[in-house]
Amino acid sequence: DVKVTQSSRYLVKRTGEKVFLECVQDMDHENMFWYRQDPGLGLRLIYFSYDVKMKEKGDIPEGYSVSREKKERFSLILESASTNQTSMYLCASRTEWETQYFGPGTRLLVL
């Protein structure tokens, strides 16, 4: 079974803190993605990566950065957390055959 894991299920941070969200997949997938999910807005793509050390902006990259130093790991960084970044964050990885698998999500609350 494909497994995508995320480092935390719940996080509470203060405004201005630097926040790291980690994602690991165990299926040697090339493609990895970070989304946020908010009520009424659906899933929105923040960043994605097609290969190690490669990153592409998604639809809403402002306020975020990413790192992909190893193929299995894709990190999302909030440089200075703000209250409008309170959300559910979902990591995903994908096979070359377009089937995408999600992690369990990290629910982030920024106070």
Partner 1 sequence: TQLLEQSPQFLSIQEGENLTVYCNSSSVFSSLQWYRQEPGEGPVLLVTVVTGGEVKKLKRLTFQFGDARKDSSLHITAAQPGDTGLYLCAGAHGANSKLTFGKGITLSVRP
Give the footprint of partner 1 on this chain (CB under 8 A): 4, 31, 33, 40-43, 45, 48, 50, 58, 90, 94, 96-105, 107
As a whole number of angstroms, the distance between CA 75 and CA 43 comes to: 18
Between residues 62 and 98, which has the closer beta carbon with respect to partner 1?
A: 98
**C-alpha dihedral, 59 to 46 to 95 to 39, nearest 10°:** -90
What's the helix, strand, coil split of the chain in %, to 5? Answer: 5, 55, 40
Q: How far is the CB of 92 from partner 1 (least distance, A)?
A: 8
User: From the CB of 74, what's the least distance to partner 1, in Å?
Assistant: 15
Cβ distance to partner 1 smaller for residue 16 or 104: 104
Please say which residue, 54 or 80, places its beta carbon nearer to partner 1.
Answer: 54
CA distance 60 to 101: 21
Min dist CB 101 to partner 1, Å, is 6
